[in-house]
Amino acid sequence: MNKRDRAIIIGKELARLYKNPKPPLDFSNPFTLLIAVLLSAQCTDERVNIVTKKLFKEARTPKKMAALGQDQIFFFIKTCGLAPKKSKAILETSNILIKKFNSKVPQSIEELVTLPGVGHKTASVVLNQAFGQASFAVDTHIHRLAQRWKLTNGKNVMQTEKDLKKLFPKEKWGDLHLQIIFYGREFCEARKCYGLDCFLCKTLFPNRNSKVITNKA
């Protein structure tokens, strides 16, 4: 079975399990999505949604967020990991959006990654979920599973992203981003499956008998 054969099996199984997957983060516009994804680093989606429920009642636009100030932003997000760093990034990002982008979230990766706290993955998520652009954001779950399923050599997330884009149809990238994350959390966890126990790992590699050691993102 080659990579493309495995990709077909994976795509069909994920589509069966997670039909029309919905983003796990709550947001109402591109700006609130950007802030929610920024907050999700080293923090669970559930915690982010709890935090942003109150934060977004106060500030759903860059101008209102900037008006809160860093101390107030920190007050709302303090239960998230890296809260001091994130509160500073949120304030700086809000101010840049106001001054440079007329309070609009830019619609290109090149511009998005210039914002404090926004990396390639965050930018890819925003482009897909807020603007409907085809992108395949790769996080640690996707990076790990792509290695377990031998869809990539796993050198880094950028290489994993390139490899996955070659294997799956462009129109499926957005759904697959969510589907693989959901599958990894539910069936193929980092410290449980190790490429041996979940349905897809056993189906794709029935003769595998040793743990898969994955390269970190």
The residues assigned a catalytic role are 121, 139
Best CA proximity match to 110, nearest among 102, 120, 100: 120
Q: What are phi and psi of 59, to 5 degrees?
A: -150, 105
Rounded distance between C-alpha atoms, residue 62 and residue 92, angstroms: 10
What sign has the CA pseudo-torsion 181, 186, 192, 194?
Answer: negative
For 107, the token pair is: 């619609």
Based on its alpha-carbon atoms, the radius of gyration of the chain, rounded to whole angstroms, reads 18
